[in-house]
Amino acid sequence: MADDDSPFGEYIRRQRELHELTMRQLADMVGISNPYLSQIERGLREPSERVLEAIAENLEMSAETLKRHKARDSDGAEEEPAVVAAIKADKSLTAGQRKALIEVYESFATSRRPA
């Protein structure tokens, strides 16, 4: 799989950036190597269940949310919502404000999707 081919890896990278963490910081928090996290973000490696849960915990989200994104990636499903793309593109917002808006949007959108 080539770089940027993994919506799941991109989602992890985006969440890491929204938390204003470097790749090295998140890797240290999760207890994995920096190259391994890089490979996960680029879609070259699949994280183990333990690593997936540790990433979710350190990005302050539920493991279930992260697993849903992983399942969507595996199914080849949906792209990033336009709302999320617009929030990410708005440079007048701070990283914390973008993170908060995206989390609110995703919580509303997730609650409206069928299981």
Per-residue confidence in pLDDT tens, the chain, 115 aa: 344 457 888 889 989 998 999 999 999 999 999 999 999 999 899 899 999 999 999 998 888 888 877 776 665 545 678 888 889 888 898 988 988 898 888 878 776 655 5
In a domain? residue 69: yes
CATH code, 50: 1.10.260.40
In a domain? residue 1: no
Angle between helix 34-41 and helix 7-18 axes, rounded to 10 deg = 120
What burial class does residue 115 get, using C-beta atoms within 10 Å of its C-beta: 0-12 exposed, 13-18 middle, 19+ buried?
exposed
93: containing domain? 7-112
